[in-house]
Structure 1
């Protein structure tokens, strides 16, 4: 008995076996379309940002604490 799944890209039936070259996709074309969606960030895995502005507020940090008043890369000799 073989398992049949739907191609994630075009929904065509795909037989899940060792002979299925592009499983779970039905073809190389569908595989590349899916890869392109990931590369262009059309598909993403949602994650919670580690940066939490509310936490910084609770700790007493001000946004200005994270910015320099002067450009550290500016060459004082060439002004």
Structure 2
């Protein structure tokens, strides 16, 4: 049974199939509305970009540990 999702623009049901060239949108119109929202900065990335943050070994180890905790398929079986 194919996956059914809601169009992010109009909330109509969208069947997630390779033939649906506009997925996750229901139509070209909804796709362009969303693109326009990004162009007008109505959508934004939730966190500001960090500039020139020097990563040390401790930060890298913490990031790696956090990544591995959330992505168990990268951990080798014991």
Same fold by TM (over 0.5)?
Answer: yes
More helix by share: 2
Other-structure match for 1:37: 37
Other-structure match for 1:74: none
Runs of 4+ deviating beyond 2 Å: 46-51
**Who wins on radius of gyration, i.e. which is larger?**
1
CA spacing shift, 1:5–1:49, aligned 2, 3 Å? closer
2:48 aligned counterpart, secondary structure: coil
- Superposed displacement of residue 50, structure 1: 4.9
TM-score, length basis structure 1:
0.59
Pair 1:5-2:5 in alignment: yes
Number of aligned pairs?
Answer: 51
Q: Which runs of 5+ in 1 are unaligned?
A: 52-79
Give me the whole-angstrom Cα distance separating, in 2, the residues matched to 1:34 and 1:3: 21
Please give the root-mean-square deviation of Cα atoms over the aligned residues, in Å.
Answer: 1.5
TM-score, length basis structure 2:
0.60
Other-structure match for 1:60: none
